[in-house]
Amino acid sequence: MDLKTMVREAMSRHPRTLTEIVEEVLRTAITQGILKPGDKLSAEDLAAEFGVSRMPVREALRKLETVGLVVIRPQKGVEVSRLSLEELRELADIRVALECMAVKLALPRLTPTKYEELQEIIEEMNRERDDARIFNLAWDFHVLLYEAANNTQLQEFIAQVRVNFDRYLWFYQATFKDAGEIHRKLFEVIKGGNAEEAVKAMEEHIRQTEKKVVDMVERQTNF
């Protein structure tokens, strides 16, 4: 899908500012590898392609810089930030710290309704065959789980780290076909209600994903 089509589809959804729409499209394009590490980005070219003025594009690029997806260098322009195994491991460490905290806080607040909703997402993952849709459902599972932690700042930090971490999954074309089973196992431990076991299961869940990507990177020997 080209960027112009992505913008048109984004505009058809709930009302947002042009900056928010452009940011969403560029974030998705970078995360999913449509825009690749090291690609040069021109606000003028992007504005022309999107059919918008340069201002929302520039504002969107500045926001993407704050989450580490692009690098803005005075006099040199903007480029998509590059990937490294060191960064991947650092992001995994941060995910473990934040998401283990989130599941610990969420556990005593999870209601029967919330458990039913989590179960429904897992069942939908098992039925789905499209990798992109499975990927989004997996993220929905984590978002729904962490909402119960009732800590907005923590949720925002997790979302920011996940955006950067997920670039590696897309760039190295990780398969998500086993996501339903993986999340079912995690769900069963969480449903057991033991905080120590839930935290341990969450860390293993994240480390399993980290190992999958590291193995793919080493096979492709791009670093």
Q: Are 169 and 143 within 8 A, CB to CB?
A: no
CATH number at residue 126: 1.20.120.530
Tally the domains of the chain: 2
101: its two tokens: 């905290």
What are the residues whose beta carbons fall under 8 Å from the beta carbon of 36, sequence distance 6 or more? 80, 171
Boundary of a domain, candidates 48, 80, 112: 80
| Extended strands (E) in the chain | 40-41, 70-73, 77-80
- Cα end-to-end distance, the chain, whole Å: 28
Q: Are 158 and 102 within 8 A, CB to CB?
A: yes
The whole-number pLDDT of residue 170 equals: 81
- Compute the distance between CA of residue 36 and CA of residue 20 in angstroms, rounded to an integer: 21
Residues 150 and 190 in one domain: yes
2: its two tokens: 């080209």
- Provide the residue-wise pLDDT of the chain in tens; the chain has 223 residues: 667 666 666 666 655 788 988 998 999 899 888 898 999 999 999 999 888 899 999 999 999 998 889 999 888 899 999 888 999 999 999 999 999 999 999 999 999 999 999 999 999 999 998 888 888 899 999 999 999 999 999 999 999 999 889 888 887 766 677 889 999 999 999 999 999 999 999 999 999 999 988 888 777 655 4
Lookup result for tokens 């992001």: 91
Q: What is the number of other CB atoms lying within 10 angstroms of the CB of residue 120?
A: 13
CATH number at residue 7: 1.10.10.10
Residues 75 and 159 in one domain: no
Residues 76 and 93 in one domain: no
Residues 192 and 166 in one domain: yes
Domain that holds residue 110: 85-220
Q: What is the number of other CB atoms lying within 10 angstroms of the CB of residue 64?
A: 23
Residues 121 and 213 in one domain: yes
Boundary of a domain, candidates 24, 54, 80: 80
Boundary of a domain, candidates 46, 61, 80: 80
Residues 89 and 76 in one domain: no
Residues 126 and 215 in one domain: yes
What's the pTM? Answer: 0.80
Residue 194, SS3 per DSSP? coil
Residues 75 and 114 in one domain: no
Residues 119 and 208 in one domain: yes
